[in-house]
Structure 1
Amino acid sequence: MLSSYSGKMCWTNKLLVSVLFTVAFDNVYGSVEGLYCGKDNCYEILAVEKDSTKSEITKAYRQLAKKWHPDMHKTEKMKKEASEKFQEIANAYEILKNEDSRNDYDYLLDHPDEFYYNYYRYYKTRTAPKVDVRIVIAVTITVISVVQYYGAWSNYQSAIGYLCKEQKYRLQATNIAKERGLFPVAKKKDGRRSKEEIREEEEAIIKDIVEENLDIRGGYRKPTYQDVLWIQLVFFPYYLLAYIHWYARWIWKFTISRQEYGTEEKLYLIRKYLKLSSNQFDALEEHERDDYMHKELWIKEKFTAWKEKQEAELMSKRAESGRYRMIRRYMKKGGPGQMTFGPE
């Protein structure tokens, strides 16, 4: 049994050595089965030299492709042979016409002993994306810009539609339309129109007046070209330099020179302390910003005191709220996740 087992092991070792020797032998001569042109030389297939230009390679390919095209032969045997030859020619041309794959193949010919590295270069070129990365980035930014602008425009239209239905603004817009004589003209313009068509025109007039007179700010404001990602990226260097200039000016005026804050600077500090974005702060009512200015909330100490007072009032209101007390009692008893083990 031991002798039989040893014989099998010896045969396996010989087979392994034979395979490794075959692979190493092929690699030494720059030919690996499954890579590039296999055991054949791509330059020899096209009958060109290693230093041939791209135009010479293309010319040789066209001549051979015309000669070995299956349609140029009549018998089935010749067609089959020509088809195989035509595929070899096309494969060799695909490798040599591309600069990257040709460089990889030349490296294989010059460094046949670097077996694994040649495999890596081959599959890296084959699996690399065919589309220019710059095109992918440009298309991605364009899609984001379109979606971004469409979303902002949809928000703006939603805000206009809501305000048109709001009784307060709708009544004001109706009065303005009557003062301008828009409704009577719309009704007398064509007597053959239906009430539905007249109503739709009146709604359009109201919408135009609401859009004309209301200053919608924040996330629902009317989008501009500056909100598009492409424009923001193009003007990013300008925005960056403007911010550096603004910051340096701030340090010089208010930290070094100790000058007093202007209205713009005071509003900026208030917004910063409130932790609101520019759009969120612009969306506040005018009287709210005036109240913050009146209370001098740009001063850190006054803002901190005001904030603590606001939180205390909020906690007091919650404590007085019957619903809040009920929730607190419910949570104190264990809430929805209470669990007991056995009798208490």
Structure 2
Amino acid sequence: MGLRSVFIFLCFIQGCDSLIEGLYCGKQNCYDVLNISRDATKGEISKSYRRLARVYHPDKYKGKDGEKKFISISNAYEILKEEDSRQDYDYMLDNPDELYRNYYRYYRRKVVPKVDPKIVVTVTITVVSLIQYYVWWARYNEAISQIMMVPKYRLKAMEMASSQGLLSKQKKKDKRTKEEIKEEENEILRKIVEENADIRGVYCKPSVVDVLWVQLFIFPYYIYQYIVWYIRWIWRFNIKKVEYGDEEKKYLIRRHLKVSQGQFDAIPDEQKEVYFEREAWILDNFKVLKEELVEEEKRKLANNSKYKMYRRYMKNKGGGRMTFED
């Protein structure tokens, strides 16, 4: 016999009462405890509670059951003052046969901690913003470290540091250890690289303005800017037929490429010049140029020895084949 059958059997023997011991006000009706009707407003509930609390307060009421009555009144008020808990209680009164659901709705509010959604949203946005900023700095530091490992860039940085008199020329007279001297030299070179390196795209130096918190704060301003920009675009280029400027041409090329501003900034200047020379801001010209670039890339791959070896391997053995050849 299942649990539901047991509950139905008990209800048949004892009678299905809408008031359940251990839930809400127990065998008492919360509305009757506060001497109010079910359609009472929040103001009437608070007024009735204050009146009864003054009467049955343990410091004033000297009856034997004063403390018990005061606890019952306080409990009933806690249940009925909040809209959600009041709805759950009314649901139990109207649906006494749904025993499982009534227990669930009651203990759901008892067990689940009450957390203000505003606090949850605020903490979430803050955590995401901190993670964003940390990841961006990690990427930037990784890019700087990679640049410093390239010999030609490191030598260039050393030349610039020496010309500025930042590196010590008398290392033999320096009383510090070699590790300390090398550490100081690396810090100087890193600073030179950071000041002169042109890092674009996702590895560029992070800015606080780009984190989620700041972006949400200035989002209305971005919306306003976009509306003004769009109206201006329609008026100048669609209605008055004014020629595109360099910034407008860059925007159209970036839109044809379907890349973000950061990705577009990372494109080499030589490649951008090709786009401008071929007037790639015009869609038809861009399509032709794109096909030419694809064909050129295919020709480069066809003449590449490593790619030829790869194609030969795929043709003879296949990517998914297993052999016992050494």
TM-score by length of 1: 0.72
Among 132, 145, 168, which residue is 1:148 paired with? 132
What does residue 171 of structure 1 align with?
Answer: 155
What does residue 258 of structure 1 align with?
Answer: 241
SS at match of 2:167: helix
Could you list the per-position Cα deviations for residues 25-84 of structure 1 after superposition, in whole angstroms to 9, with x for gaps in the alignment?
x22xxx22342132245688xx865556566677789839xx9xxxxxxxxxxxxxxxxx
Larger Rg: 1
1:100-249 aligned within 5 A: 100=82, 103-104=86-87, 107=90, 112-115=93-96, 116=98, 119=102, 122=106, 125-126=109-110, 129-184=113-168, 191-249=174-232
SS at match of 2:289: helix
SS at match of 1:183: coil
Quick one: distance in 2 between partners of 1:63 and 1:296?
A: 88
Partners of 1:173 and 1:210 within 8 A in 2 = yes
What does residue 288 of structure 1 align with?
Answer: 271
Aligned residues: 299
State yes or no: 1:35 paired with 2:23: yes
Moved more, 118-127 or 275-284: 118-127
Deviation at 1:243, TM superposition (A): 1.2
Could you list the per-position Cα deviations for residues 186-244 of structure 1 after superposition, in whole angstroms to 9, with x for gaps in the alignment?
959x9432121111111111111111112211111111111110000111111111112
Moved more, 298-307 or 140-149: 298-307
Quick one: distance in 1 between partners of 2:309 and 2:152?
A: 37
SS at match of 2:205: coil
Which of the two has greater helix per residue? 1
TM-score by length of 2: 0.75
SS at match of 1:184: coil
What does residue 97 of structure 1 align with?
Answer: 78
Deviation at 1:113, TM superposition (A): 3.9
Partners of 2:58 and 2:67 within 8 A in 1 = no
Distance 1:92 1:258, change over 3 A: same
- The CA RMSD over aligned residues, in Å, is 3.9
What does residue 82 of structure 1 align with?
Answer: none
Deviation at 1:106, TM superposition (A): 7.0
Could you list the per-position Cα deviations for residues 174-194 of structure 1 after superposition, in whole angstroms to 9, with x for gaps in the alignment?
111111111128959x94321
Partners of 2:24 and 2:89 within 8 A in 1 = no
Quick one: distance in 1 between partners of 2:34 and 2:151?
A: 84
Deviation at 1:276, TM superposition (A): 1.8
Could you list the per-position Cα deviations for residues 246-266 of structure 1 after superposition, in whole angstroms to 9, with x for gaps in the alignment?
122212211222111100011
Could you list the per-position Cα deviations for residues 281-318 of structure 1 after superposition, in whole angstroms to 9, with x for gaps in the alignment?
11122232223212222122221111111112222333
Partners of 1:145 and 1:229 within 8 A in 2 = yes
Distance 1:169 1:322, change over 3 A: closer
Partners of 2:34 and 2:77 within 8 A in 1 = no
Q: Which amino acid aligns with 2:210?
A: D
SS at match of 1:293: helix
Q: Which amino acid aligns with 1:183?
A: L
Which structure 2 residue ranges, 5 or more long, are not aligned?
Answer: 37-44
Partners of 2:52 and 2:73 within 8 A in 1 = no
Distance 1:328 1:122, change over 3 A: same
Distance 1:159 1:318, change over 3 A: closer
Quick one: distance in 2 between partners of 1:266 and 1:52?
A: 67
Quick one: distance in 1 between partners of 2:128 and 2:56?
A: 44
Quick one: distance in 2 between partners of 1:304 and 1:22?
A: 81
Which structure 1 residue ranges, 5 or more long, are not aligned?
Answer: 1-12, 68-84, 340-344
Deviation at 1:129, TM superposition (A): 4.9
Q: Which amino acid aligns with 1:136?
A: V
